Amino acid sequence: MLTEVSLLSAFLVGLLGGVHCVGMCGGIVGVLSMGVPQQQRSAAARWKYLLAYNIARITSYTLAGALLGGIGWLAAHWSGLHQLQQGLQLLAALFMLALGLYLGGWWQGLVQVERAGGLVWKRLEPLGRRLLPVQSPLQAFYLGLVWGWLPCGLVYSVLVWAIASGGPLHGAMLLLSFGLGTLPNLLAMGVAAGWLSARVRDPRTRRVAGLLVILFGLYSLYRLIQ
């Protein structure tokens, strides 16, 4: 079930996962930033576009969290099996361990999950192309909604967590917390790409982030066996 600790953990996973976000989405942020109309490239206008992209991206995450949380709730309640809910929580904890190994660079199994998500992205990506070049913050918002469905092992791991969260509202809150955690890195990527990329690509940064996420997974397992 969802707790304040879970929301904080989701936020920290998003924040620590910045080492992955910058590698996965940093190029996209850079391209989108450069695509802003020449006459609107002042600092204030640039921030409007960046905020529009990212608010929409987080909105997509939140909707996906609500959907997966609802599916998990229906599965557990229709079956009437408490064991199913525990099984979902166990799966979420294992995904968290896999995510930590992925971020730390010790195991790349989640790449296969991203490839599976690519099947969905093939259908959505043409929608994003139709919105280019971006001419207004509203258009940037629409493009951000599409961007939120980009295949990402980090997001998928938290979505599995949402399945075990206890319901659609809980799933939405979990993904909202995660999305807010990713926000600082991706906003900074839009204005300081070179400096930030050099910091988060440092293997030591990745290992520290991976170890902390593994600790979240181990904590979840500990709660299950209490």
pLDDT at 1: 53
Pairwise CA distance, residues 188 & 200, whole Å: 12
Residue type (1 letter), 16: L
Cα separation, 220 vs 206, in Å, equals: 21
End-to-end CA distance of the chain: 14
pLDDT of residue 55: 94
Q: In this predicted model, what pLDDT tens digit does every residue of 31-42 receive, in sequence order?
A: 565 555 666 556
Q: In this structure, are residues 33 and 46 in contact, taking their beta carbons and an 8 Å threshold?
A: yes
Q: Binning pLDDT at 50, 70 and 90, where does residue 168 land?
A: very high
Average pLDDT over residues 87-114: 81
Plot region of 217 (φ>0 → left; ψ -120 to 50 → alpha; else → beta): alpha
Domain boundaries, the chain: 4-225
Average pLDDT, the chain: 78
140: confidence class by pLDDT, cuts 50, 70, 90: confident
pLDDT of 89 > 60? The answer is: yes
pTM of whole model > 0.75? yes
**Per-residue model confidence (pLDDT) at position 201:** 58
Report whether pLDDT(193) > 60.
Answer: no
Residue for token pair 């209490």: 226
Nearest-5° Cα angle at 212, 216 to 57: 80
Q: Find all residues with CB under 8 Å of 96, minimum gap 6, and list them.
A: 13, 157, 161, 213, 214, 216, 217, 220
- Lookup: tokens for 168: 């659609």
